[in-house]
C-alpha cells in the first residue's frame, strides 16, 4: 500500500463516520463542503453515500409497529429495577 492510498483510505474512513449526519443535515457548512468535495472525486465514497441515502429512504417508508406487550412489560420491569 502506498502512502498516498493509505492517506486516502484514512480520509474515506473519516468521511464514512459522518455520512449519516450529512444526509440528516446535521453538519456545519464547512464539513458538508469537505464531504461534497471528497465525494466528487471518490467513486467508492460516492457509491457508499448513494447506498446510505437509498437505505435511509427505504427505512422512512416503513410503517411503525407497536412493540409486543411482552416486550413492553419486560422493558418496564427493567426500568423499574434500574431506577429503584
Grid cell listed for 34: 469537505
Confidence of residue 6 (pLDDT cuts 50, 70, 90): very low
Record the pTM: 0.63
Which pLDDT does position 8 carry in this prediction?
63
Average pLDDT, the chain: 88
Percent above pLDDT 70 for the chain: 90
Total domains in the fold of the chain: 1
Residue 35 CB-density burial (10 A; 0-12 exposed, 13-18 middle, 19+ buried): buried
Domain residues for the domain of 29 are 3-83
Q: Mean pLDDT throughout 2-7?
A: 48
Q: Give the tens place of pLDDT for each residue, 32-54.
A: 999 999 999 999 999 999 999 99
Amino acid at each position: 500500500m502506498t502512502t498516498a492510498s493509505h492517506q486516502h483510505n484514512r480520509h474515506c474512513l473519516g468521511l464514512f463516520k459522518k455520512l449519516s449526519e450529512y444526509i440528516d443535515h446535521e453538519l456545519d457548512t464547512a464539513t458538508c463542503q469537505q464531504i461534497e468535495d471528497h465525494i466528487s472525486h471518490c467513486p467508492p465514497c460516492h457509491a457508499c453515500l448513494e447506498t446510505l441515502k437509498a437505505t435511509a429512504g427505504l427505512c422512512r417508508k416503513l410503517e411503525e409497529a407497536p412493540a409486543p406487550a411482552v416486550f413492553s412489560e419486560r422493558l418496564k420491569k427493567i426500568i423499574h429495577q434500574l431506577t429503584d
